[in-house]
Amino acid sequence: MKSLFVLSTGILFFLISSLNNNLLGQSRKLTYRDSLMMVSDSIRVDNIVVHNLFKSQILAHQNGAYDSLMIVKNVYRPHQQLWDGCYGMIFGDENASRFNNPSGMIAWNKTLYPENKAAFDLKTRQLISMNLDSILKFNLHKFNQMVKVKPQAVISILFTPLQGIGFGGCNADQFALELNYANNNLDYTIHKGIPHELNHLAYEPGRLKDPLNETALAQVIDEGFACYFTWAFFDRKIKEREAVENMSEKEWNWYLKNEKEIFRQVKVYFNSKDGNNPLLRNDQFKLFPNAPKTLFYWLGFRIIQSYTDLHGPESWKDIYKLPIAEVLNKSGYEKKMQK
C-alpha cells in the first residue's frame, strides 16, 4: 500500500511538472529574431523557386555587428543572376557596380536596413504574421495543379536601395518582389499578386510564338488573362474587381458604365506595336481621364471573361495555346460591344 502511494505521488508530481513546463513554454513568446529565423531561406515546388532574401538582409545586422559574409552567401549568391543581370542593367551603368559584385552588395546592405529599420521590420513582421512559408507553398502547389504548362522561375523577395521592378523581372529566372517598393500592398501582393505573375510566366511561351506578340492586343490579353486566372485561382469566390488591381466597387462600376465607349475608342490601337499609345498608356494620353487603375488590365479581363462565358468556365485553359487574334474573335466581346 505504501509503495502504491509513493508511485501515485510520483506520477502526480510528473504530471504537474509537465503541465508547468508546458505553460512556461506557452507563455514564452518567440522573439522577432526567433520568428525570422524560422522563415525558410528558400522554397521550391517543381520548377519554381522562391528565395526569401530579406531574411538574411535583416539577420546580417545583430547586436551592432554587420555580417558581410552572410550578405554574400545568403543574399547575393542564391540569385546572382538577378543581381548581375537585371539590377545590374536596369538602373544604368552608373549603378551597375552596386549590384553585380559582392563588394557592391556588401556596401549598400550595410546601411540600407539600419537607415530604414522601422519600415523594414514592419514589412517583415507582416510576412511573419501571415505565415509566408505556408502561403508560398499553397500558392505554388495549387498553381501547378491548375496549369499544365510548367514554367521554370526563380523569384526573390527582397529589399533594394533602388526600386524599379515592384513585382516582376527581366525574365523568368530574374524575378523580384521589392518589399520596399512604394505603395506596395503587401497582403494583396503575396496572396493575389503571386498567382497573377505566375500566370504571366505560364502564358509567355505561347505568346512569344504568336505573330501578334508585340502588339498592344497581346499585352491586353496577357494582363487580362493574368487577372482572370487570379479570379479562377480563388475559385471565383473573390469579387472580380479584387482580381483586377483590387479595384473598388466605384472604380469597377465606372468601367462597366463606359465599357462600350472604351472599346469603340481603343480597338484602333490593337495592332499597334508602339507601346506608347493611348490604350496602354491611358495614364499619359488621358483618352479616358477619369479611368481608374490600368485601363487595359480591365479590358483584357473582360475579353477573357467573355470567352469563358461562351465556351465554359474551364475554357480559360485554352488561352495558353490559342492564337491572340482568336482569343478576341472567339470571345464574342466585340459583338457584345456593338449591340
Nearest to 198 by CA among 320, 303, 282: 320
Of the pLDDT bands very low, low, confident and very high (cuts 50, 70, 90), residue 338 is very high
Question: 249-300: per-residue pLDDT in tens?
Answer: 999 999 999 999 999 999 999 999 999 999 999 999 999 999 999 999 999 9
Radius of gyration, CA atoms only, the chain: 25
User: What stretch of H or E contains 309?
Assistant: helix 295-311
Q: What integer pLDDT is reported at residue 28 of this predicted model?
A: 65
Of the pLDDT bands very low, low, confident and very high (cuts 50, 70, 90), residue 184 is confident
Nearest to 155 by CA among 59, 230, 73, 44: 44
CA distance 317 to 332: 17
Of the pLDDT bands very low, low, confident and very high (cuts 50, 70, 90), residue 3 is very low
Q: What integer pLDDT is reported at residue 29 of this predicted model?
A: 83
Question: What is the overall mean pLDDT for the chain?
Answer: 93
pLDDT at 24 over 90: no
Question: 88-120: per-residue pLDDT in tens?
Answer: 999 999 999 999 999 999 999 999 999 999 999
CA torsion through residues 98, 102, 103, 106, sign:
positive
pLDDT at 16 over 70: no
CA distance 102 to 235: 44
Q: What integer pLDDT is reported at residue 339 of this predicted model?
A: 86
CA distance 186 to 182: 11
User: What stretch of H or E contains 3?
Assistant: helix 2-27
Nearest to 283 by CA among 275, 294, 273: 294
Q: Where are the domains of the chain?
A: 32-205, 211-338
- The residue among 63 and 140 whose pLDDT is bigger is 140
pLDDT at 12 over 50: no
Mean pLDDT of 186-203: 96
pLDDT at 27 over 60: no
* Terminal Cα distance for the chain, rounded: 95
